[in-house]
């Protein structure tokens, strides 16, 4: 410690130790935060159509379009170390061959930010309940539209359209049975480990109650009409090859 | 003239402190940074605000750098004096590897 340079090195060296120790403590402190998440998913409507994976494709595939109701109470996932929660709903259905694991495909997702997270365009904006939207359209109402009408982690979605239409690796999806919608999440902390959905109890963490729909089946093609995925704001993500598949009646 | 200036610059840059000062600097580093870390966690946890914890930790670290790195006068309160100039009458004998140099 005799010269200034040595003192800089010493102070910085011990600073890294302190910073790492505090970060470890913060990461561990999430495990003493009790949580009891609950959710319910109900199927509203399911249709299967035939379409192309992208515009220039010669191959036709079958796409399932699933509408659902979702009510969640995930408020306790947001503790002081939570940056954001990535919430998703996947359709799970058994494989065609026995012995293979079931297929899973995500039909809807949302990024729920914590209060400490800075604004980002991809953060989920909860649609306002239909009753209040007709009340008055002042500046205040416009401002509220950018915020969720419910507290963090509370969702009440009715007849929600999927973000993604799903297909199978075989390209065939109609008449498949024992399909189930399942809620999942990733809790992304500021420091520490990424935490997946827990179905079991760990200490003060309760497992997720509900979070799975009743089983249903993919109907045959053409049962029903009018298909829409979620559009606008963060719900609309266009990528190359990610275009909405066209109906089966057009030329391929 | 240029040599003198260079010496001053070098002294200011090196910022040497005495032995007691080094002991004090070492102790202050440990105490200040440790306290900053403990306060950062406790206050942040009580306020449930992780950014507050971050800023308290960084502020404490900045304060520690300011307190430790420059050669403040309180690090130089016990300067080590030179040996008295060697004369035949001083009676001090210096031994280096068994050979008398003094």
Tokens of A101: 């694991």
Is 80 exceeded by the pLDDT of residue B92?
no
In the numeric block, the tokens 């399932």 are attached to A64
Contact A2 B22 (CB under 8 A): yes
ipTM value: 0.81
Secondary structure (3-state) at B53:
helix
A49-59 tens-digit pLDDT: 998 888 898 88
A191-213 tens-digit pLDDT: 999 999 999 998 899 999 999 99
Is 80 exceeded by the pLDDT of residue B29?
yes
Higher pLDDT, A69 or B13: A69
Task: State the Cα torsion B24-B29-B32-B34 to the nearest 10°.
Answer: -130
As a whole-number percent, the residues of chain B with pLDDT over 70 amount to 89
Q: How far apart are CA A216 and CA A175, in angstroms?
A: 10
Interface contacts A/B by beta carbons within 8 Å: 74
Q: DSSP secondary structure string, A73-90?
A: E-GGG--TTEEEEEEEEE
A90-136 tens-digit pLDDT: 999 999 888 999 999 999 999 999 988 999 999 998 888 765 444 44
Q: How large is the average pLDDT for residues A174-198?
A: 93
Q: How far apart are CA A185 and CA A90, in angstroms?
A: 10
pLDDT at A28: 94
Q: Which residues partner with A216 through β-bridges?
A: A179
Q: DSSP secondary structure string, A49-110?
A: EEE-SSTT----EEEEEEEEEEEEE-GGG--TTEEEEEEEEEEEE--SSTTSPPEEEEEEEE
Q: Is B26 on the interface with A (CB under 8 A)?
A: yes
Contact A2 B16 (CB under 8 A): yes
Q: How far apart are CA A167 and CA A152, in angstroms?
A: 32
Secondary structure (3-state) at A113:
strand
Q: Is B102 on the interface with A (CB under 8 A)?
A: no
pTM of the model: 0.77
Contact A7 B40 (CB under 8 A): no
Which residues 30-89 on chain B approach chain A with CB closer than 8 angstroms? 30, 33-34, 36-37, 40-41, 44-45, 48-51, 53, 57, 61, 64-65, 68-71
**Closest chain A CA to residue B31:** A14
Instruction: Name the band, by pLDDT with cuts 50, 70 and 90, for residue A149.
Output: confident
Contact A22 B40 (CB under 8 A): yes
Which candidate in B14, B36, B37 is best for mutational testing of the A interface (most A CBs within 10 A)? B37
Structural contact between residues A77 and A85, judged by C-beta atoms closer than 8 angstroms: yes
CA distance B47 to chain A (A): 9
CA distance B3 to chain A (A): 21
Contact A7 B25 (CB under 8 A): yes
Which sequence spans correspond to the domains of chain B? Answer: 31-70
pLDDT at A10: 95
In the numeric block, the tokens 């200040």 are attached to B32
Element (H, E) at A182: strand A180-189
> If you compute the radius of gyration of chain B from its CA atoms, what whole number of angstroms results?
22
As a whole-number percent, the residues of chain A with pLDDT over 70 amount to 82
pLDDT at A240: 53
Q: What is the mean pLDDT of chain A?
A: 85
pLDDT at A142: 52
Structural contact between residues A165 and A229, judged by C-beta atoms closer than 8 angstroms: yes
Which sequence spans correspond to the domains of chain A? Answer: 1-32, 35-235
B35-46 tens-digit pLDDT: 999 999 999 999
pLDDT at A251: 45
Pick the range with the lowest mean pLDDT from A7-21, A178-192, A219-233, B75-89. A219-233
Residue ranges of the alpha helices (H) in chain B?
2-14, 19-47, 50-68
Instruction: Name the band, by pLDDT with cuts 50, 70 and 90, for residue B97.
Output: confident
Structural contact between residues A111 and A124, judged by C-beta atoms closer than 8 angstroms: yes
Pick the range with the lowest mean pLDDT from A119-123, B54-58, B93-97. B93-97
């Amino acid at each position: 410690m005799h010269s200034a340079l040595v003192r800089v090195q010493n102070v910085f060296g011990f600073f890294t130790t302190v910073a790492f120790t505090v970060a470890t403590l913060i990461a561990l402190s999430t495990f003493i935060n009790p949580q009891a998440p609950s959710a319910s998913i109900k199927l509203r409507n399911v249709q299967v159509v035939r379409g192309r994976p992208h515009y220039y494709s010669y191959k036709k595939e079958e796409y399932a379009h699933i509408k659902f109701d979702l009510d969640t109470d995930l408020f306790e996932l947001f503790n002081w170390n939570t940056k954001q929660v990535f919430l998703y709903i996947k359709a799970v259905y058994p494989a065609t061959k026995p012995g293979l694991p079931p297929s899973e495909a995500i039909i809807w997702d949302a990024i729920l930010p914590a209060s400490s997270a800075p604004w980002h365009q991809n953060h989920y904006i909860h649609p306002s309940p239909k009753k209040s939207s007709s009340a008055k359209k002042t500046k205040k109402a416009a401002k509220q539209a950018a915020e969720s009408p419910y507290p963090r982690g509370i969702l009440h979605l009715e007849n929600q359209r999927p973000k993604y239409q799903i297909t199978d690796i075989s390209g065939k999806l109609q008449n498949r049975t024992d399909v189930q919608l399942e809620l999942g999440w990733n809790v992304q902390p500021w420091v520490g480990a990424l935490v997946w959905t827990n179905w079991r109890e760990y200490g003060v963490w309760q497992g997720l109650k509900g979070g799975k729909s009743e089983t249903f089946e993919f109907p045959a093609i053409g049962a029903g009409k009018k298909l829409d995925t979620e559009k606008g704001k963060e719900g609309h993500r266009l990528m190359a090859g990610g275009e909405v598949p066209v109906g089966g009646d057009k030329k391929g | 003239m240029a040599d003198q200036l260079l010496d001053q610059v070098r002294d200011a840059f090196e910022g040497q402190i005495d032995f007691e000062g080094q002991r004090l600097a070492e102790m202050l580093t440990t105490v200040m940074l440790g306290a900053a870390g403990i306060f950062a966690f406790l206050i942040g946890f009580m306020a449930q605000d992780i950014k507050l914890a971050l800023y308290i930790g960084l502020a404490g670290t900045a304060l520690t750098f300011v307190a430790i790195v420059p050669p403040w006068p309180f690090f130089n309160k016990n300067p080590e004096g030179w040996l008295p100039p060697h004369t035949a009458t001083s009676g001090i004998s210096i031994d280096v590897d068994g050979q008398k140099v003094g």
